[in-house]
Structure 1
Amino acid sequence: MEHTETLLAALSSPERAPLNQAQLSVKFSITEAAVKQRMGEIYMRFGNSFPQLLDQKGAGKLNLLFIKLKQKYYPKPDPVFAPYPEEFRSLIEEKIRRFCGRGFVFENFEQFITENPHGYFTIVGDAGMGKSSIVAKYVWEHQSPCYFNILVERRNRPELFLKSIRRQLIDRYQLPNSEDADLPTLLAQVAGKLTAGDRLVIAIDALDEVEQEPGGNLLHLPKNLPTNVYFLLTRRPYASDKKQLLVDVPVKELDLRESEYVNFNREDIKEYIRYAINTDTEYKDKLRNWIHNRSILDTTFVEQVTNKSENNFMYLRYVLPAIANGDYNDLSLTQLPDGLQEYYQSHWVRMGMEAKPGQLMEIVLYILLEIGTAIPCQMIAGIVKVDQCDVGKVLEDEWVEYLKKQNVGEEICYTIYHASFLDFLKGKREMDAKRRIFKQVNQRIAEYLEEGMA
């Protein structure tokens, strides 16, 4: 009974921060050592349900238990507004389709907003480590206002961000006369409408892809925030002397590359692979055939593909479907490429790009790289001066898994799917001293544009 009373006193409401040991000591007129002993026994009892409690060292166990119980027993009501902007619907739904793990990230963020009245929380990681998927999952579950910076679609400038977030906040919180309001004004208006226990979390993906004039914070994010207002951010690493978020509120960075998160990342990678071979209706049967034909144990497959992935989810996104589709029928498990960049290079060679440089498959990719925005098949065919059907075959058959297809106006347009593949192609451009393919591609683009203006 005393344990129950202590826990109920500590966690009196899902809308209030937990009481600490000193406060509980006063409330029950017992020593802090007695409170500590009771709480220790409480943590042990909840250890079966929430194993992270047993792994948590030092302070923070009560906050972690608070977070876990709130997630399990206090779900948020369905929103009366659109859960996320239409412009990001397809991206969010694609990112969460095979989402696995990452619980440690969400727990760290929940702990941050529990312990701080406002602030910025940034997830840092290399390309392919799942940063965008984490944001998409959070937005999906919490219906948070959001913005995804997308370099290849030129959706990465401050004015576009402000326009989108402004519209989301106006619709969600019914803000009158705010069509021209700046971000600090909008946040202040929202903060004034928040009821007890409510928070505003704005999720922003890929700060590293933002394009703006030098000076000030990226996307002109405010230095100060109202109470109960938080930002969940992601970015790739950059040098400390180029830090572009200078603020006067609490901040925290969770770097996915840090040694303390290696095992968490590895377990999430394994969970993703197990999902692919046991649950994914699109690929599981073909993957199991590949495993069976090589007399490999499931545990061996999971372990070795995890090692090959170098804890990179984008590697799995490409390699597992490639295995299922027969691209590696001539290879053993140990011969699979190591890491994402080796996968790109391996696929490049297997497609014959090194043996026959300058072929249509290569030129189409370089046009997409150089144009830098979504363009239709017809335009690519006009630049190359070949039949549109030939270009369509390249886009839909040869490079389909690397490209994103979207409707722009009344046309289907194509861009490069992921920044990591964009980086791979840029590396090709930097090494193109002998073949001069990029010079030819840019010349063809210029000629096509000049003809269109004539």
Structure 2
Amino acid sequence: MTTPDPVSVITSIARAVAPTAIKQAQRNELVVKILKELKLDPVQPPKDVDGVYVYALVEYGVGNPEPVRKLLGEREIKNAFWSAYTSRNPLFFLAKSEDLLNDNNNLKSEIETSGIELRTELEEFGNVFINVAKRTNSEEFKPYPDWNLDEYPKEFKPLIKEKTRTFCGRNFVFKAFLEFLNKKPKGYFTIVGDAGMGKSAIAAKYVATKQCPCYFNVRAEGNNKPEQFLESIRQQLIKRYQLQNAEKDNLLTLLQKVSEKLPAEESLVIIIDALDEVEQEAGEPNLLNLPKELPDGVYFLLTRRPFTRETKRLTVSPDVPVQELDLRDSEYVNLNREDVEKYIRLFLNNDFEHKESLRKWIQERNLTDEAFVEQVADKSENNFMYLRYVLPEIAKGLYNDLNLKQLPDGLQDYYQVHWVRMGMETKPQEAKVIVLFILVEIGTPIPGEMIAEITEQDEYEVQEVLEEWVEYLREQEIEGDTCYSFYHASFLDFLKGKKELKSTRKLFKEVNQRIVDFWKREMDADEAEG
């Protein structure tokens, strides 16, 4: 009996299930179903290399891009992976994958037109393989390699992967920055735009492509303080440029040391995302204590929301060039619109999870593709965050009762429509309101178990609330716990403006006291362990 092709089995089973199943709790059930179809034990992986490779392909493949599954299914790629694994040289695997794609124009085109960041996907697969290998307890897979294809910190990998997975366009921004690099000896280049205009995605794409030092400020995760930024950038520069005696250097000293090491034709570009989310006391004039002086060959690419003279907090010396590109400017309106339409077409034609459901929605309303693209672009008000939410929700059937003209207008209207659809203004929703309030008040990633303890609710009930709001939450593993925080600052800002979540409500006075009591217990426990 012939063994089924794992890529075909993954694709057929994953496509037969609603996209939400891949995104949420049923994902594990899908993996189990596929493993059984392939005659593999869902509990214990096999101990041979081929078996572990297939097992890893299943665990990686559910919910990840189909073109990458096809690539990983090639025998030549499997052999290249094992050679890279045993030689502890993951970059060899990347090079061999790129070589194969150069010989396979169709697959290369699928990956490129889908906006897939190949390096990111191959790194994720490698780490899945290592996790499966560890579960076999087989000596054949030891020592386990450090499977890192990137030069930037691991802490930013999930964010960069998320932001670049469906990236397209923005060439006018990259062109403007390239001109700045070519014409100026050093300087600060700032991308300005409203929430959801794609600033973080631009930063993430540049980092993924150029592999440059970076820092992503994320208020909802508490990664937005000057000391955190300096420590991260310091370690990146020390590692990248083998700097000596630099463990306590300030930023300007680090930059000067790097500048002295740079060949004449090279430069250092540091990406800093979301300056507006930085938490910093008044006093130092510049956010993140960015230096007023810069050595030659050193550039910063910054992103931030619109600012006033008082909130700008970026003062530089007269000889340091500064340029701002405001995505809201009239000269960029048409270019933004073109990129928004490209994104919608990319989603419609290449999003393997949603495109079939989306086409069904369009056909049921007797629309042409172009009419759909144009009208959704109008509704988005050139906002990519709007598209990130609305397009999958159309595919999932959440707007089956509406036509295009009835879709929300812009990001804030979308948030309000969703708030109403969740019944937050018409029914008693005390449990949901309390969970959201805690996420807003805590402001950093928090485990569901901890939320349940604070709310004095059953953990299962809290999990149900979290799953209802899953599109707006970022899940991440921290010390073995699944923690939750808000995906985008714009939604956090929206919630802070809702009267239902005002901290002055009588309902929340007790909840606030529970939060205080909880943190006190945690601190007491830490002191006892210390």
Task: Name the TM-score, length of structure 1 as normaliser.
Answer: 0.79
CA distance in 2 between counterparts of 1:100 and 1:238 reads 27
Matched, 1:96 2:167: no
Ranges in structure 1 where 5+ consecutive residues have no aligned partner: 1-79
**1:404 matched residue in structure 2:** 474
- What is the 5 A alignment of 1:369-388? 369-388=440-459
CA distance in 2 between counterparts of 1:388 and 1:224 reads 52
Matched, 1:413 2:483: yes
**1:393 matched residue in structure 2:** 464
- What is the 5 A alignment of 1:27-176? 82-176=150-244
Q: Root-mean-square deviation (CA), in Å?
A: 1.8
Tell me which amino acid in the other structure corresponds to 1:132: S
Q: In 2 relative to 1, CA 422–433 (structure 1 residues): closer, same or farther, beyond 3 Å?
A: closer
Can you list the C-alpha shifts for 1:34-54, whole angstroms capped at 9, x where unaligned? xxxxxxxxxxxxxxxxxxxxx
Q: CA deviation at 1:443?
A: 3.4
Q: CA deviation at 1:359?
A: 2.7
Q: In 2 relative to 1, CA 317–325 (structure 1 residues): closer, same or farther, beyond 3 Å?
A: same
**1:66 matched residue in structure 2:** none
Q: In 2 relative to 1, CA 178–431 (structure 1 residues): closer, same or farther, beyond 3 Å?
A: closer
Q: In 2 relative to 1, CA 287–173 (structure 1 residues): closer, same or farther, beyond 3 Å?
A: same
Q: CA deviation at 1:362?
A: 2.2
CA distance in 1 between counterparts of 2:411 and 2:180 reads 32
Q: CA deviation at 1:295?
A: 0.5
**1:179 matched residue in structure 2:** 247
Q: CA deviation at 1:410?
A: 1.8
Paired residues, number:
374
Q: CA deviation at 1:434?
A: 9.1
**1:336 matched residue in structure 2:** 407
**1:413 is paired with a residue of what secondary structure?**
strand
Q: CA deviation at 1:392?
A: 1.3
**1:268 matched residue in structure 2:** 339
Whether contact under 8 Å (1:205, 1:235) holds in the other structure is: yes
Tell me which amino acid in the other structure corresponds to 2:256: A
Can you list the C-alpha shifts for 1:307-350, whole angstroms capped at 9, x where unaligned? 10011100000000110111000111110000111111101111
Can you list the C-alpha shifts for 1:35-85, whole angstroms capped at 9, x where unaligned? xxxxxxxxxxxxxxxxxxxxxxxxxxxxxxxxxxxxxxxxxxxxx984211
CA distance in 2 between counterparts of 1:82 and 1:433 reads 42
- What is the 5 A alignment of 1:238-317? 238-248=307-317, 249-317=320-388
CA distance in 2 between counterparts of 1:450 and 1:184 reads 39
Matched, 1:223 2:304: no
**1:308 is paired with a residue of what secondary structure?**
helix
**1:144 is paired with a residue of what secondary structure?**
coil
Q: CA deviation at 1:433?
A: 9.0
> Stretches of 4+ moved more than 6 A in 1?
none
**2:161 is paired with a residue of what secondary structure?**
helix
Aligned partner (choices 484, 492, 513) of residue 443 of structure 1: 513
Whether contact under 8 Å (1:286, 1:324) holds in the other structure is: yes
Aligned partner (choices 233, 248, 252) of residue 302 of structure 2: 233
**2:301 is paired with a residue of what secondary structure?**
strand
**2:405 is paired with a residue of what secondary structure?**
helix
Whether contact under 8 Å (2:177, 2:189) holds in the other structure is: yes
Tell me which amino acid in the other structure corresponds to 1:428: K
Q: In 2 relative to 1, CA 126–438 (structure 1 residues): closer, same or farther, beyond 3 Å?
A: farther
CA distance in 2 between counterparts of 1:436 and 1:306 reads 42
Tell me which amino acid in the other structure corresponds to 2:293: N
Ranges in structure 2 where 5+ consecutive residues have no aligned partner: 1-147, 526-530
Whether contact under 8 Å (2:503, 2:509) holds in the other structure is: no
CA distance in 1 between counterparts of 2:456 and 2:494 reads 26
Aligned partner (choices 260, 267, 291) of residue 199 of structure 1: 267
Whether contact under 8 Å (1:358, 1:437) holds in the other structure is: no
Whether contact under 8 Å (1:116, 1:250) holds in the other structure is: yes
Whether contact under 8 Å (2:496, 2:502) holds in the other structure is: no
Aligned partner (choices 340, 349, 353) of residue 424 of structure 2: 353
Q: CA deviation at 1:364?
A: 1.0
CA distance in 1 between counterparts of 2:521 and 2:313 reads 42
Of 114-123 and 363-372, deviating more is 363-372
Tell me which amino acid in the other structure corresponds to 1:159: E
**1:426 matched residue in structure 2:** 496
CA distance in 1 between counterparts of 2:275 and 2:341 reads 28
**1:179 is paired with a residue of what secondary structure?**
coil
Q: CA deviation at 1:272?
A: 0.4
**1:378 is paired with a residue of what secondary structure?**
helix
**Percent sequence identity over matched residues?**
62
CA distance in 1 between counterparts of 2:506 and 2:339 reads 42
